[in-house]
Amino acid sequence: MKRFVVALIAGASVFTLAFGAAAALNVNGEVIQAGATFDVVCDADGIEVDGWGLETDTSLVSYVRFAGVDTACDGAAVFVNVIGPFSTEIMEGGPVTVPGGGTVQVPFDAPVNAADIYGLQVFIEG
């Protein structure tokens, strides 16, 4: 039983470290990358939020648009987690295939109230 508890704690620690590393990825920052390697293979300069799909009459946001996507990311999939109060995930978006560098627009699974958006987690895979 003791061995099982130790294995469970070790597994939880590894998961926490992996999740924490992904949660620390920067938008408008240095590096955006998800995975098990520290070698940046796509977009070493980061990306920036270029716009939001905001309906002003309802205050609902249906997508986020990113600019500055490097052409090295062409064909990669972009995923977004919309973060609400207390660092909770309130919505997902994507995957969207990067069409050719520059700009990519990621729709949310459902519209989100603009006042509930506290942050984004962005993942580029592929």
Which pLDDT tens digits describe the chain residue by residue (126 residues)? 555 444 445 454 444 444 444 444 445 433 334 444 444 456 556 678 888 999 989 999 999 998 888 888 888 888 999 999 888 999 899 999 988 767 899 999 999 999 999 888 888 887
pLDDT of residue 64: 92
Is 121 within 8 Å of 88 (Cβ atoms)? no
Q: Would you call the peptide bond into 95 cis, given omega within 30 degrees of 0 as the criterion?
A: yes
Check residue 80 and give its pLDDT.
Answer: 92
Burial class of residue 88 in the structure, from the number of CB atoms within 10 Å of its CB (0-12 exposed, 13-18 middle, 19+ buried): exposed
Stated length of the chain: 126
Distance CA 56, CA 102 (A): 26
- Quote the pLDDT of residue 41: 57
Q: What is the pLDDT of residue 112?
A: 93
E runs forming strands in 47-118: 48-55, 60-69, 77-83, 89-97, 102-113
pLDDT of residue 105: 93
C-beta of residue 93 within 8 angstroms of C-beta of residue 110: no
